Copies of this chain bind each other. A is one copy, B any other.
Amino acid sequence: MNGAETVLRTLLNNGVDVCFANPGTSEMQFVAALDRHPAMRGVLCLFEGVATGAADGYARMTGRPAATLLHLGPGLANGLANLHNARRARTPVVNVVGDHARSHKPLDSPLESDIDAAATTVSHWVRRPITSADIGPDTAAAVAAALSAGGPDVADRSRTGTSGAISTLIMAADLSWGESTPPAPRLPAPPLRSVAPADVEAAAALVAGPEPVALLIDGAGLSERGLRAAARIRKATGTAAFCPTWPARLRRGTGVPAIQPLGYRAEAVNQQLAGIKHLILVGAREPVASFAYPGRPGLLTPPGTRVHRFVPDAGFDVVGALMELAEVVAPDVVESDVLASDGVGADALGAGGVELGAVAGLPAAQGASPSLVNEPLCTGNWARFIGSLLPEEAIVVDESITEGMNTLAPATADSAPHDVLGLTGLAIGQGIPVAAGAAIACPERPVVCLQADGSALYTISGLWTQARENLDVTTVILNNRSYAILRAELDRVGGNQAGPAASALFDLSRPDIDFTAVATGMGVPATRATSTTELAEQFTAALATPGPHLIEAILQPS
Protein backbone atom coordinates (compact mmCIF):
# COMPACT_ATOMS: atom_id res chain seq x y z
CA MET A 1 0.00 0.00 0.00
CA ASN A 2 1.37 3.43 -0.88
CA GLY A 3 1.03 6.57 1.18
CA ALA A 4 -1.83 8.02 -0.82
CA GLU A 5 -3.83 4.88 -0.22
CA THR A 6 -3.08 5.12 3.49
CA VAL A 7 -4.48 8.65 3.47
CA LEU A 8 -7.57 7.59 1.57
CA ARG A 9 -8.29 4.56 3.73
CA THR A 10 -7.67 6.50 6.94
CA LEU A 11 -10.14 9.14 5.78
CA LEU A 12 -12.70 6.40 5.16
CA ASN A 13 -12.02 4.89 8.57
CA ASN A 14 -12.71 8.30 10.06
CA GLY A 15 -16.01 8.86 8.31
CA VAL A 16 -14.78 11.01 5.41
CA ASP A 17 -16.12 9.51 2.19
CA VAL A 18 -16.49 12.44 -0.22
CA CYS A 19 -13.56 14.21 -1.83
CA PHE A 20 -13.99 17.41 -3.83
CA ALA A 21 -11.00 17.35 -6.11
CA ASN A 22 -9.00 19.40 -8.53
CA PRO A 23 -5.88 17.27 -8.64
CA GLY A 24 -2.56 17.63 -10.44
CA THR A 25 0.55 15.59 -10.90
CA SER A 26 1.49 15.58 -7.23
CA GLU A 27 -1.90 14.08 -6.31
CA MET A 28 -1.92 11.32 -8.93
CA GLN A 29 -1.43 8.48 -6.46
CA PHE A 30 -4.49 9.61 -4.54
CA VAL A 31 -6.49 9.74 -7.77
CA ALA A 32 -5.29 6.28 -8.75
CA ALA A 33 -6.30 4.93 -5.33
CA LEU A 34 -9.91 6.07 -5.92
CA ASP A 35 -10.35 3.21 -8.36
CA ARG A 36 -9.46 0.72 -5.65
CA HIS A 37 -11.76 2.30 -3.05
CA PRO A 38 -15.17 3.11 -4.50
CA ALA A 39 -16.42 3.98 -1.01
CA MET A 40 -14.66 7.32 -1.47
CA ARG A 41 -16.68 9.49 -3.84
CA GLY A 42 -14.46 11.74 -5.94
CA VAL A 43 -16.22 14.85 -7.24
CA LEU A 44 -14.37 16.80 -9.91
CA CYS A 45 -14.42 20.58 -9.54
CA LEU A 46 -12.99 22.74 -12.30
CA PHE A 47 -11.58 25.32 -9.90
CA GLU A 48 -10.35 24.86 -6.36
CA GLY A 49 -12.70 27.50 -4.98
CA VAL A 50 -15.53 25.24 -6.09
CA ALA A 51 -13.96 22.29 -4.27
CA THR A 52 -13.51 24.14 -0.98
CA GLY A 53 -16.93 25.78 -1.14
CA ALA A 54 -18.55 22.43 -1.88
CA ALA A 55 -16.77 20.88 1.10
CA ASP A 56 -18.19 23.70 3.22
CA GLY A 57 -21.73 23.15 2.00
CA TYR A 58 -21.43 19.40 2.43
CA ALA A 59 -20.31 19.61 6.05
CA ARG A 60 -22.83 22.30 6.97
CA MET A 61 -25.52 19.76 6.08
CA THR A 62 -23.96 16.52 7.30
CA GLY A 63 -21.83 17.72 10.20
CA ARG A 64 -19.12 15.47 8.75
CA PRO A 65 -16.11 16.85 6.95
CA ALA A 66 -15.47 16.20 3.31
CA ALA A 67 -11.93 16.11 1.99
CA THR A 68 -10.63 18.42 -0.67
CA LEU A 69 -7.79 17.38 -2.95
CA LEU A 70 -5.73 20.38 -4.02
CA HIS A 71 -2.64 20.79 -6.17
CA LEU A 72 0.34 22.44 -4.49
CA GLY A 73 0.43 26.07 -3.35
CA PRO A 74 -1.46 27.67 -6.25
CA GLY A 75 -4.23 25.07 -5.96
CA LEU A 76 -4.60 25.80 -2.28
CA ALA A 77 -4.45 29.53 -2.98
CA ASN A 78 -7.39 29.27 -5.36
CA GLY A 79 -9.37 27.56 -2.61
CA LEU A 80 -8.51 29.96 0.22
CA ALA A 81 -11.43 32.37 -0.09
CA ASN A 82 -14.05 29.67 0.40
CA LEU A 83 -11.96 28.09 3.16
CA HIS A 84 -12.10 31.52 4.79
CA ASN A 85 -15.90 31.32 4.66
CA ALA A 86 -15.81 27.76 5.99
CA ARG A 87 -13.56 28.84 8.85
CA ARG A 88 -16.02 31.59 9.74
CA ALA A 89 -18.85 29.06 9.52
CA ARG A 90 -16.92 26.75 11.86
CA THR A 91 -17.29 24.04 9.23
CA PRO A 92 -15.06 20.98 9.50
CA VAL A 93 -13.00 20.55 6.31
CA VAL A 94 -9.99 18.31 5.67
CA ASN A 95 -7.74 19.63 2.92
CA VAL A 96 -5.27 17.21 1.37
CA VAL A 97 -2.71 19.28 -0.49
CA GLY A 98 -0.12 17.49 -2.58
CA ASP A 99 3.39 18.85 -2.50
CA HIS A 100 6.53 18.13 -4.45
CA ALA A 101 8.67 15.18 -3.41
CA ARG A 102 10.99 16.27 -0.63
CA SER A 103 14.07 15.79 -2.79
CA HIS A 104 12.50 18.12 -5.33
CA LYS A 105 11.64 21.05 -3.07
CA PRO A 106 15.14 22.55 -2.89
CA LEU A 107 15.19 22.81 -6.68
CA ASP A 108 12.54 25.56 -6.56
CA SER A 109 10.76 24.17 -9.60
CA PRO A 110 8.05 26.30 -11.23
CA LEU A 111 5.13 25.38 -8.98
CA GLU A 112 7.11 25.59 -5.73
CA SER A 113 5.69 28.02 -3.16
CA ASP A 114 5.12 28.34 0.57
CA ILE A 115 2.12 26.03 1.04
CA ASP A 116 2.43 26.09 4.82
CA ALA A 117 2.14 29.88 5.03
CA ALA A 118 -0.90 29.93 2.77
CA ALA A 119 -2.53 27.07 4.68
CA THR A 120 -2.02 28.75 8.02
CA THR A 121 -4.13 31.74 6.96
CA VAL A 122 -7.29 29.59 7.08
CA SER A 123 -6.40 26.42 8.96
CA HIS A 124 -6.73 25.56 12.61
CA TRP A 125 -4.40 22.60 12.02
CA VAL A 126 -1.59 22.20 9.46
CA ARG A 127 0.72 19.22 9.37
CA ARG A 128 3.12 17.40 7.05
CA PRO A 129 3.75 13.70 7.63
CA ILE A 130 7.51 13.28 8.00
CA THR A 131 7.86 9.53 7.59
CA SER A 132 5.57 6.91 6.09
CA ALA A 133 4.66 5.83 9.62
CA ASP A 134 3.14 9.27 10.24
CA ILE A 135 0.74 9.19 7.32
CA GLY A 136 -2.09 7.21 8.91
CA PRO A 137 -1.95 8.86 12.33
CA ASP A 138 -1.59 12.34 10.86
CA THR A 139 -4.56 11.80 8.56
CA ALA A 140 -6.69 10.61 11.46
CA ALA A 141 -5.50 13.60 13.47
CA ALA A 142 -6.51 15.91 10.63
CA VAL A 143 -10.10 14.64 10.79
CA ALA A 144 -10.18 14.82 14.58
CA ALA A 145 -8.80 18.35 14.48
CA ALA A 146 -11.47 19.38 11.97
CA LEU A 147 -13.99 18.09 14.49
CA SER A 148 -12.08 19.40 17.47
CA ALA A 149 -14.78 21.84 18.38
CA GLY A 150 -17.42 19.22 17.87
CA GLY A 151 -19.23 16.47 19.63
CA PRO A 152 -18.62 12.93 20.75
CA ASP A 153 -19.77 11.19 17.63
CA VAL A 154 -19.56 12.07 13.98
CA ALA A 155 -23.04 10.77 13.34
CA ASP A 156 -24.47 13.12 15.96
CA ARG A 157 -23.28 16.20 14.22
CA SER A 158 -26.03 16.28 11.65
CA ARG A 159 -28.38 17.09 14.50
CA THR A 160 -26.21 19.61 16.26
CA GLY A 161 -24.93 21.83 13.46
CA THR A 162 -21.34 22.48 12.66
CA SER A 163 -18.71 23.56 15.10
CA GLY A 164 -15.52 22.47 13.40
CA ALA A 165 -12.34 23.83 11.95
CA ILE A 166 -10.10 23.61 8.89
CA SER A 167 -7.37 20.96 8.80
CA THR A 168 -4.73 20.93 6.10
CA LEU A 169 -2.62 17.85 5.52
CA ILE A 170 0.32 18.49 3.21
CA MET A 171 1.47 15.29 1.51
CA ALA A 172 4.85 15.17 -0.18
CA ALA A 173 4.64 13.25 -3.47
CA ASP A 174 7.34 10.79 -2.44
CA LEU A 175 5.36 9.84 0.65
CA SER A 176 2.28 9.38 -1.55
CA TRP A 177 4.04 7.07 -3.97
CA GLY A 178 6.23 5.29 -1.43
CA GLU A 179 5.44 2.13 0.53
CA SER A 180 3.44 3.05 3.61
CA THR A 181 2.12 1.64 6.84
CA PRO A 182 -1.52 0.56 7.26
CA PRO A 183 -4.30 3.10 7.58
CA ALA A 184 -5.04 4.43 11.05
CA PRO A 185 -8.29 3.50 12.75
CA ARG A 186 -10.91 5.97 13.80
CA LEU A 187 -9.67 8.60 16.19
CA PRO A 188 -12.51 9.94 18.34
CA ALA A 189 -13.02 13.69 18.24
CA PRO A 190 -13.07 15.42 21.61
CA PRO A 191 -16.57 15.66 23.07
CA LEU A 192 -18.52 18.87 23.22
CA ARG A 193 -18.11 20.63 26.53
CA SER A 194 -21.06 21.55 28.71
CA VAL A 195 -21.51 24.92 30.35
CA ALA A 196 -21.06 24.98 34.10
CA PRO A 197 -24.25 24.82 36.21
CA ALA A 198 -23.31 28.13 37.80
CA ASP A 199 -23.27 29.76 34.37
CA VAL A 200 -26.75 28.41 33.65
CA GLU A 201 -27.94 29.83 36.98
CA ALA A 202 -26.37 33.21 36.25
CA ALA A 203 -27.96 33.38 32.81
CA ALA A 204 -31.28 32.32 34.26
CA ALA A 205 -31.13 35.11 36.81
CA LEU A 206 -30.67 37.64 34.04
CA VAL A 207 -33.38 36.17 31.84
CA ALA A 208 -35.86 36.01 34.70
CA GLY A 209 -34.82 39.37 36.06
CA PRO A 210 -36.44 42.75 35.60
CA GLU A 211 -34.11 44.26 32.97
CA PRO A 212 -34.51 43.77 29.19
CA VAL A 213 -32.42 40.82 28.01
CA ALA A 214 -31.73 39.36 24.60
CA LEU A 215 -30.08 36.14 23.51
CA LEU A 216 -27.69 36.17 20.55
CA ILE A 217 -27.60 32.61 19.28
CA ASP A 218 -25.34 30.98 16.69
CA GLY A 219 -24.02 27.56 15.70
CA ALA A 220 -26.08 24.56 16.67
CA GLY A 221 -28.39 26.87 18.60
CA LEU A 222 -29.98 27.75 15.26
CA SER A 223 -31.16 24.18 14.72
CA GLU A 224 -34.84 23.45 15.31
CA ARG A 225 -34.10 22.07 18.77
CA GLY A 226 -32.11 25.14 19.69
CA LEU A 227 -34.80 27.49 18.39
CA ARG A 228 -37.49 25.59 20.29
CA ALA A 229 -35.52 25.96 23.50
CA ALA A 230 -35.14 29.67 22.81
CA ALA A 231 -38.87 29.94 22.13
CA ARG A 232 -39.65 28.27 25.46
CA ILE A 233 -37.49 30.87 27.17
CA ARG A 234 -39.17 33.62 25.20
CA LYS A 235 -42.68 32.35 25.96
CA ALA A 236 -41.98 32.23 29.66
CA THR A 237 -39.96 35.43 30.03
CA GLY A 238 -40.34 37.54 26.85
CA THR A 239 -36.63 37.33 26.19
CA ALA A 240 -35.80 38.35 22.62
CA ALA A 241 -33.56 36.19 20.48
CA PHE A 242 -31.28 37.26 17.65
CA CYS A 243 -28.89 35.50 15.31
CA PRO A 244 -26.09 36.79 13.06
CA THR A 245 -27.08 38.35 9.74
CA TRP A 246 -25.91 35.37 7.70
CA PRO A 247 -25.31 32.37 9.96
CA ALA A 248 -23.74 29.15 8.70
CA ARG A 249 -27.03 27.27 9.00
CA LEU A 250 -30.39 28.43 10.25
CA ARG A 251 -33.65 26.53 10.46
CA ARG A 252 -36.61 28.58 9.31
CA GLY A 253 -40.21 28.33 8.11
CA THR A 254 -43.66 27.19 9.15
CA GLY A 255 -43.72 25.55 12.55
CA VAL A 256 -40.19 26.70 13.37
CA PRO A 257 -39.93 29.43 15.99
CA ALA A 258 -38.47 32.39 14.13
CA ILE A 259 -35.44 34.31 15.25
CA GLN A 260 -34.48 37.80 14.24
CA PRO A 261 -31.23 38.16 12.24
CA LEU A 262 -29.17 41.17 13.18
CA GLY A 263 -29.08 43.71 10.36
CA TYR A 264 -26.05 43.94 8.12
CA ARG A 265 -25.55 47.61 8.86
CA ALA A 266 -24.64 49.05 12.23
CA GLU A 267 -27.59 51.45 12.22
CA ALA A 268 -30.00 48.55 12.03
CA VAL A 269 -28.28 46.67 14.84
CA ASN A 270 -28.25 49.75 17.03
CA GLN A 271 -31.97 49.99 16.58
CA GLN A 272 -32.52 46.29 17.19
CA LEU A 273 -30.53 46.28 20.42
CA ALA A 274 -31.81 49.62 21.71
CA GLY A 275 -32.96 49.29 25.28
CA ILE A 276 -31.43 45.84 25.81
CA LYS A 277 -29.54 45.86 29.10
CA HIS A 278 -28.01 42.40 28.83
CA LEU A 279 -26.94 40.61 25.66
CA ILE A 280 -26.32 36.93 26.38
CA LEU A 281 -24.07 35.19 23.85
CA VAL A 282 -25.14 31.61 23.15
CA GLY A 283 -22.54 30.07 20.84
CA ALA A 284 -22.23 33.50 19.21
CA ARG A 285 -19.58 36.16 19.15
CA GLU A 286 -20.19 39.74 20.18
CA PRO A 287 -21.61 41.56 17.16
CA VAL A 288 -19.14 43.72 15.27
CA ALA A 289 -19.51 45.83 12.15
CA SER A 290 -18.32 44.23 8.93
CA PHE A 291 -16.30 47.36 8.21
CA ALA A 292 -15.18 50.39 10.13
CA TYR A 293 -16.40 53.84 9.15
CA PRO A 294 -14.88 57.15 10.22
CA GLY A 295 -16.07 58.08 13.66
CA ARG A 296 -18.33 55.08 14.16
CA PRO A 297 -17.78 52.28 16.65
CA GLY A 298 -16.90 48.82 15.38
CA LEU A 299 -18.56 47.05 18.31
CA LEU A 300 -22.29 47.11 17.71
CA THR A 301 -23.47 46.56 21.25
CA PRO A 302 -24.95 49.84 22.50
CA PRO A 303 -23.00 51.52 25.33
CA GLY A 304 -25.67 50.70 27.90
CA THR A 305 -25.76 46.99 27.08
CA ARG A 306 -23.66 44.50 29.03
CA VAL A 307 -22.42 41.46 27.14
CA HIS A 308 -22.42 38.06 28.87
CA ARG A 309 -20.50 35.14 27.37
CA PHE A 310 -22.83 32.37 28.45
CA VAL A 311 -21.80 29.76 25.88
CA PRO A 312 -18.39 30.43 24.30
CA ASP A 313 -18.46 30.13 20.56
CA ALA A 314 -16.65 26.87 19.90
CA GLY A 315 -16.54 23.43 21.39
CA PHE A 316 -19.58 23.86 23.64
CA ASP A 317 -22.91 22.12 23.52
CA VAL A 318 -25.01 25.13 22.53
CA VAL A 319 -28.28 23.24 22.26
CA GLY A 320 -27.74 21.57 25.60
CA ALA A 321 -27.07 24.93 27.23
CA LEU A 322 -30.23 26.47 25.76
CA MET A 323 -32.27 23.48 26.94
CA GLU A 324 -30.81 23.71 30.43
CA LEU A 325 -31.59 27.40 30.54
CA ALA A 326 -35.15 26.69 29.37
CA GLU A 327 -35.54 24.05 32.08
CA VAL A 328 -34.69 26.65 34.72
CA VAL A 329 -36.66 29.65 33.47
CA ALA A 330 -39.50 27.91 31.62
CA PRO A 331 -40.13 24.64 33.43
CA ASP A 332 -43.82 24.84 32.69
CA VAL A 333 -43.45 25.38 28.94
CA VAL A 334 -42.89 22.02 27.32
CA GLU A 335 -41.32 21.87 23.92
CA SER A 336 -44.43 20.56 22.21
CA ASP A 337 -46.34 23.64 23.41
CA VAL A 338 -44.05 25.98 21.57
CA LEU A 339 -45.50 27.30 18.36
CA ALA A 340 -43.85 29.04 15.49
CA SER A 341 -45.68 32.12 16.70
CA ASP A 342 -43.62 32.04 19.85
CA GLY A 343 -40.68 33.13 17.78
CA VAL A 344 -40.24 36.54 16.27
CA GLY A 345 -42.88 37.17 13.61
CA ALA A 346 -42.44 38.21 10.04
CA ASP A 347 -43.23 41.83 10.84
CA ALA A 348 -40.28 42.03 13.16
CA LEU A 349 -38.09 40.52 10.47
CA GLY A 350 -38.37 43.63 8.39
CA ALA A 351 -41.18 42.83 5.97
CA GLY A 352 -41.99 45.54 3.51
CA GLY A 353 -38.51 45.97 2.23
CA VAL A 354 -37.33 48.33 4.93
CA GLU A 355 -33.97 47.95 6.64
CA LEU A 356 -34.22 45.50 9.48
CA GLY A 357 -35.18 47.83 12.22
CA ALA A 358 -37.84 46.12 14.24
CA VAL A 359 -37.11 46.20 17.94
CA ALA A 360 -37.02 43.03 19.93
CA GLY A 361 -40.12 41.99 21.75
CA LEU A 362 -42.75 42.76 19.14
CA PRO A 363 -45.73 40.45 19.21
CA ALA A 364 -45.49 37.58 16.79
CA ALA A 365 -47.40 38.05 13.54
CA GLN A 366 -48.15 35.83 10.61
CA GLY A 367 -46.65 37.17 7.37
CA ALA A 368 -49.14 37.70 4.58
CA SER A 369 -48.82 35.37 1.60
CA PRO A 370 -47.94 37.41 -1.48
CA SER A 371 -50.60 37.66 -4.09
CA LEU A 372 -49.22 36.73 -7.47
CA VAL A 373 -49.51 40.16 -9.03
CA ASN A 374 -47.62 40.22 -12.29
CA GLU A 375 -45.17 43.09 -12.20
CA PRO A 376 -41.56 43.68 -13.18
CA LEU A 377 -39.10 41.93 -10.89
CA CYS A 378 -37.31 44.18 -8.44
CA THR A 379 -35.56 44.20 -5.10
CA GLY A 380 -38.89 44.61 -3.36
CA ASN A 381 -40.77 41.63 -4.74
CA TRP A 382 -38.58 38.71 -5.84
CA ALA A 383 -38.05 37.26 -2.36
CA ARG A 384 -41.76 37.09 -1.58
CA PHE A 385 -42.35 34.89 -4.60
CA ILE A 386 -39.44 32.61 -3.79
CA GLY A 387 -40.64 32.44 -0.21
CA SER A 388 -44.18 31.50 -1.14
CA LEU A 389 -43.03 28.75 -3.53
CA LEU A 390 -40.20 27.31 -1.46
CA PRO A 391 -40.60 23.54 -1.28
CA GLU A 392 -40.66 21.55 1.92
CA GLU A 393 -37.21 20.86 3.38
CA ALA A 394 -35.44 23.07 0.89
CA ILE A 395 -31.84 23.98 1.53
CA VAL A 396 -31.57 27.69 0.75
CA VAL A 397 -28.04 28.86 -0.03
CA ASP A 398 -28.14 32.60 0.51
CA GLU A 399 -25.59 34.72 -1.33
CA SER A 400 -28.23 37.25 -2.30
CA ILE A 401 -26.32 40.03 -0.48
CA THR A 402 -27.91 43.42 -1.27
CA GLU A 403 -30.95 41.93 -2.92
CA GLY A 404 -31.83 39.73 0.04
CA MET A 405 -30.48 41.81 2.90
CA ASN A 406 -33.81 43.23 3.96
CA THR A 407 -36.21 41.05 2.07
CA LEU A 408 -35.34 37.38 2.43
CA ALA A 409 -35.83 36.78 6.15
CA PRO A 410 -39.37 38.19 6.27
CA ALA A 411 -40.28 36.55 2.97
CA THR A 412 -39.32 33.08 4.13
CA ALA A 413 -40.47 33.22 7.76
CA ASP A 414 -43.69 31.48 6.78
CA SER A 415 -42.31 29.33 4.00
CA ALA A 416 -42.29 25.56 4.25
CA PRO A 417 -39.65 24.45 6.79
CA HIS A 418 -36.17 24.79 5.36
CA ASP A 419 -32.51 25.46 6.20
CA VAL A 420 -30.65 28.59 5.16
CA LEU A 421 -26.88 28.59 4.64
CA GLY A 422 -25.38 32.07 4.85
CA LEU A 423 -22.31 33.94 3.64
CA THR A 424 -20.39 33.64 6.88
CA GLY A 425 -17.03 35.11 5.93
CA LEU A 426 -18.20 37.70 3.38
CA ALA A 427 -15.79 36.31 0.80
CA ILE A 428 -18.01 36.31 -2.26
CA GLY A 429 -18.28 33.33 -4.61
CA GLN A 430 -19.57 30.86 -2.08
CA GLY A 431 -23.11 30.26 -3.27
CA ILE A 432 -22.81 27.96 -6.29
CA PRO A 433 -20.16 25.70 -4.68
CA VAL A 434 -21.92 25.49 -1.31
CA ALA A 435 -25.11 24.55 -3.15
CA ALA A 436 -23.27 21.74 -4.94
CA GLY A 437 -21.88 20.40 -1.68
CA ALA A 438 -25.23 20.63 0.11
CA ALA A 439 -26.92 18.76 -2.73
CA ILE A 440 -24.35 15.97 -2.51
CA ALA A 441 -24.89 15.84 1.25
CA CYS A 442 -28.69 15.69 0.96
CA PRO A 443 -29.68 14.19 -2.39
CA GLU A 444 -33.29 13.88 -1.27
CA ARG A 445 -33.70 17.61 -0.55
CA PRO A 446 -34.15 20.41 -3.09
CA VAL A 447 -31.42 23.04 -3.01
CA VAL A 448 -32.24 26.65 -3.88
CA CYS A 449 -29.26 28.92 -4.44
CA LEU A 450 -30.05 32.64 -4.26
CA GLN A 451 -27.02 34.10 -5.93
CA ALA A 452 -25.99 37.72 -6.53
CA ASP A 453 -24.74 38.34 -10.04
CA GLY A 454 -21.32 39.80 -9.32
CA SER A 455 -20.46 37.09 -6.82
CA ALA A 456 -21.66 34.29 -9.10
CA LEU A 457 -18.80 34.79 -11.52
CA TYR A 458 -16.14 33.97 -8.92
CA THR A 459 -16.93 30.27 -8.98
CA ILE A 460 -19.24 29.97 -11.95
CA SER A 461 -17.77 26.64 -13.03
CA GLY A 462 -19.49 25.10 -10.01
CA LEU A 463 -22.50 24.94 -12.32
CA TRP A 464 -20.63 22.35 -14.37
CA THR A 465 -20.09 20.20 -11.27
CA GLN A 466 -23.81 20.49 -10.56
CA ALA A 467 -24.47 19.23 -14.08
CA ARG A 468 -21.82 16.48 -13.93
CA GLU A 469 -23.28 15.13 -10.69
CA ASN A 470 -26.88 15.82 -11.75
CA LEU A 471 -27.55 17.70 -8.53
CA ASP A 472 -31.01 18.99 -7.73
CA VAL A 473 -30.05 22.65 -7.42
CA THR A 474 -32.13 25.58 -8.63
CA THR A 475 -29.93 28.65 -8.88
CA VAL A 476 -31.65 32.03 -9.03
CA ILE A 477 -29.25 34.70 -10.25
CA LEU A 478 -30.36 38.01 -8.76
CA ASN A 479 -29.12 40.18 -11.57
CA ASN A 480 -29.07 43.87 -10.74
CA ARG A 481 -26.11 44.35 -13.07
CA SER A 482 -23.91 45.88 -10.45
CA TYR A 483 -21.90 45.35 -7.32
CA ALA A 484 -24.85 47.05 -5.64
CA ILE A 485 -23.42 46.81 -2.16
CA LEU A 486 -20.32 48.73 -3.20
CA ARG A 487 -22.29 51.54 -4.75
CA ALA A 488 -24.02 51.97 -1.41
CA GLU A 489 -20.71 51.70 0.45
CA LEU A 490 -19.11 54.45 -1.62
CA ASP A 491 -21.88 56.79 -0.59
CA ARG A 492 -21.39 55.79 3.04
CA VAL A 493 -17.63 56.18 2.96
CA GLY A 494 -17.21 59.20 0.77
CA GLY A 495 -20.40 61.05 1.34
CA ASN A 496 -20.64 62.03 -2.29
CA GLN A 497 -22.05 60.47 -5.41
CA ALA A 498 -19.74 58.38 -7.52
CA GLY A 499 -18.36 59.96 -10.68
CA PRO A 500 -18.04 58.05 -13.93
CA ALA A 501 -14.65 56.44 -13.22
CA ALA A 502 -15.71 55.16 -9.81
CA SER A 503 -19.16 54.10 -11.02
CA ALA A 504 -17.60 52.02 -13.77
CA LEU A 505 -15.95 49.84 -11.14
CA PHE A 506 -19.34 48.78 -9.68
CA ASP A 507 -21.18 48.46 -12.92
CA LEU A 508 -21.63 44.97 -14.36
CA SER A 509 -23.30 46.15 -17.53
CA ARG A 510 -21.43 47.20 -20.70
CA PRO A 511 -21.74 44.39 -21.65
CA ASP A 512 -24.61 42.82 -19.76
CA ILE A 513 -23.76 39.30 -18.71
CA ASP A 514 -26.16 36.71 -20.09
CA PHE A 515 -26.24 34.15 -17.32
CA THR A 516 -28.58 31.88 -19.27
CA ALA A 517 -25.93 31.51 -21.96
CA VAL A 518 -23.16 30.97 -19.43
CA ALA A 519 -25.17 28.34 -17.56
CA THR A 520 -26.20 26.55 -20.73
CA GLY A 521 -22.57 26.48 -21.76
CA MET A 522 -21.76 24.77 -18.48
CA GLY A 523 -24.47 22.18 -19.04
CA VAL A 524 -27.18 23.66 -16.80
CA PRO A 525 -30.55 24.42 -18.43
CA ALA A 526 -31.42 28.08 -17.92
CA THR A 527 -34.23 30.57 -18.38
CA ARG A 528 -34.65 34.29 -17.84
CA ALA A 529 -37.36 35.98 -15.80
CA THR A 530 -38.19 39.67 -15.89
CA SER A 531 -41.60 39.57 -14.19
CA THR A 532 -42.92 38.04 -11.02
CA THR A 533 -45.12 35.63 -12.97
CA GLU A 534 -42.18 34.45 -15.06
CA LEU A 535 -40.12 33.91 -11.93
CA ALA A 536 -42.93 31.95 -10.29
CA GLU A 537 -43.51 29.79 -13.36
CA GLN A 538 -39.85 29.11 -13.98
CA PHE A 539 -39.08 28.44 -10.34
CA THR A 540 -41.97 25.98 -10.09
CA ALA A 541 -40.89 24.25 -13.28
CA ALA A 542 -37.26 24.01 -12.18
CA LEU A 543 -38.25 22.48 -8.86
CA ALA A 544 -40.50 19.98 -10.58
CA THR A 545 -37.67 18.69 -12.79
CA PRO A 546 -34.75 16.82 -11.22
CA GLY A 547 -31.24 18.05 -11.87
CA PRO A 548 -29.75 21.54 -11.91
CA HIS A 549 -31.49 24.58 -13.35
CA LEU A 550 -30.70 28.25 -13.41
CA ILE A 551 -33.08 31.19 -13.54
CA GLU A 552 -31.68 34.59 -14.31
CA ALA A 553 -33.93 37.09 -12.54
CA ILE A 554 -33.47 40.53 -14.08
CA LEU A 555 -34.18 43.01 -11.29
CA GLN A 556 -35.30 46.55 -11.96
CA PRO A 557 -34.31 49.24 -9.48
CA SER A 558 -37.16 49.47 -6.99
Given A88-B110, A298-B104, A464-B511: A73 and B121 interface contact (C-beta under 8 Å) = yes
Given contacts A49-B78, A74-B84, A502-B31, contact A111 B290 (CB under 8 A): yes
Closest chain B CB from A137 CB (angstroms): 24
The answer to whether A189 has its CB under 8 Å from any CB of chain B is no
Instruction: Please give the distance in Å from A118's CB to the nearest CB on chain B.
Output: 5
Q: How many copies of this protein are present in the complex? A: 2
Which residues of B lie under 8 Å from residue A29 when comparing CB positions?
A: 493-494
Would you call B292 and A173 a contact (CB within 8 A)? yes
Q: A74-B84, A513-B522 are in contact. Are A498 and B32 (CB under 8 A)?
A: yes
Pair A25/B518 contact, Cβ less than 8 Å: no
Interface string of A463-482 (1 = CB under 8 A from B): 01001100000000000000
Q: Give the distance in Å from the alpha carbon of A461 to the alpha carbon of B428 in the complex.
A: 15
User: Are B292 and A34 touching (Cβ within 8 A)?
Assistant: no
Interface centre among A73, A461, A518 (most CB of B within 10 A): A518
Residue A120 lies at the interface, judged by CB distance under 8 Å to chain B: yes
Interface string of A97-131 (1 = CB under 8 A from B): 00011011001111101100110111000000000
The CA of A103 and the CA of B518, in the complex, are separated in Å by 42
Which of B74, B427, B486 is A111 in contact with, Cβ under 8 Å?
A: B427
Closest to A32 in B: B494
A104 engages B173 (CB within 8 Å): no
Q: Which residue of B lies closest to A87 (CB)?
A: B113
Partner of A518, one of B425, B485, B522: B522
A501 to chain B, nearest CB (A): 4
Q: Which chain B residues lie closer than 8 Å to A410 at the CB level? A: none
Contacts of A519 in B (CB 8 A): 521
**Given A25-B486, A29-B493, A513-B464, also A500-B290 (CB < 8 A):** no
Residues 8 to 26 of chain A near chain B (Cβ within 8 Å): 21, 23-26
Q: Check A425–B110 contact: CB distance below 8 A.
A: yes
Contact indicator B521/A517 (Cβ below 8 Å): yes
Q: Which of A269-277, A441-449, A452-460 contacts B (4 or more CB under 8 A)?
A: A452-460
Which residues on B sit within 8 Å (CB–CB) of A173?
291-292
Task: Assess the B34–A501 pair: CB atoms within 8 A.
Answer: yes
* Cβ-based interface call for A372 (8 A): no
A80, A424, A499, most chain B CB atoms within 10 A: A80
In this assembly, does A347 line the interface, its C-beta being within 8 Å of a C-beta of chain B?
no
From B77, B500, B522, A35 is in contact (CB under 8 Å) with: B500
Q: A109-B288, A292-B104 are in contact. Are A502 and B118 (CB under 8 A)?
A: no
Does A541 have its Cβ within 8 Å of any Cβ on chain B?
Answer: no
